[in-house]
Amino acid sequence: MTNGVSERGRVIVITGATGTGKTTVSDYLTKRFGIPQVITHTTRPPRPGETDGIDYYFESPESFQKNHYLESVTYAGNRYGSSYEGLDRGLAHSPLVSIVLDTAGAETYAKELGDRAIIIFLTVATPMELANRIESRGDNPEMIRQRLASPDFQRDLKLPEDLQPVAHVISNDNWAETKRRLDALVSRIYDKLMTS
């Protein structure tokens, strides 16, 4: 094992700004291809409909410290982290898993895992659309205001320079087109896995 991911393990890292559709893409990969999601930890309160152990491991600031993290960040005032324990649970079921991270986390995964991290960067043509999307998801209005004003939001709108040579950039304006791009990408990943 290296960094919690065996030589044969692959992690699809889905990154991009808030509301670009990272969770939607991760859910699609699970439903369409059975690719398990690595559940990460956060100190932010659950949104309506979110469940502990499914959407996140919801933590207090104290319990957050007790896990062992491959990486952790503060995003718009809350802590988030991907634990070795969470990765192990995902990889126990499949050599290919997905994880949803901000761009700082995606950079760490690319650095630590090399080509075992497959980076997807999601964009939308009009960033104004992102506010509508997260409003329609039912986020708390004060959290939306804080998030859109945060430097983390601005940073995640752009693909970091070190990820530019490796990232698969998918514009998620049209869901049918996004699914086509994902299907083609997953098919290439499986082809590579079969021959490695």
Ligand X SMILES: Nc1ncnc2c1ncn2[C@@H]1O[C@H](COP(=O)(O)OP(=O)(O)OP(=O)(O)O)[C@@H](O)[C@H]1O
Ligand Y SMILES: Nc1nc2c(ncn2[C@@H]2O[C@H](COP(=O)(O)O)[C@@H](O)[C@H]2O)c(=O)[nH]1
Taking alpha carbons only, the member of 188, 158, 149 closest to residue 15 is 158
Q: Strand 78-83's sheet: what is its strand order?
A: 57-58, 41-42, 78-83, 69-75
Q: Which range, of 12-20, 36-44, 106-114, 157-165, touches ligand X by CB under 6 A?
A: 12-20
State the greatest distance between any 2 C-alpha atoms of the chain, in Å, as a whole number: 49
40 lies in the site for ligand Y, by CB under 6 A: yes
Residue 98 binds to ligand X (criterion: CB under 6 A): no
Q: Is 101 in the site for ligand Y (CB under 6 A)?
A: yes
Beta carbon nearer to ligand X, 108 or 172: 172
Q: Does 80 bind ligand Y (CB under 6 A)?
A: yes
Q: Considering CB distances under 5 to 8 angstroms, the limit depending on partner class, which of ligand Y, ligand X, none binds residue 182? A: none
Q: Is residue 184 a contact partner of residue 31, using CB atoms and an 8 Å limit? A: no
- Choosing from 12, 75, 91, 182, the residue that interacts with ligand Y (CB under 6 A) is 75
Binding mask 131-160 for ligand X (x = CB under 6 A): --xx-xx-----------------------
90 binds, among ligand Y, ligand X, none (CB under 5 to 8 A by kind): none
Beta carbon nearer to ligand Y, 116 or 137: 137
Our finding on whether 78 is near ligand X (CB under 6 A) is no
Q: If binding is defined by CB under 6 A, does position 104 make contact with ligand Y?
A: yes
As beta bridge partners, residue 171 has 123
CA distance 72 to 94: 23
CB burial class (10 A; 0-12, 13-18, 19+) of residue 185? middle
Measured CA to CA, the distance from residue 159 to residue 77 in angstroms comes to 22
Question: ∠ CA(78), CA(83), CA(88), 5° rounding?
Answer: 150
Residue ranges binding ligand X (CB under 6 A):
18-24, 100, 133-134, 136-137, 172, 175, 178
Residue ranges binding ligand Y (CB under 6 A):
18, 22, 40, 44, 71, 73, 75, 80-82, 100-102, 104-105
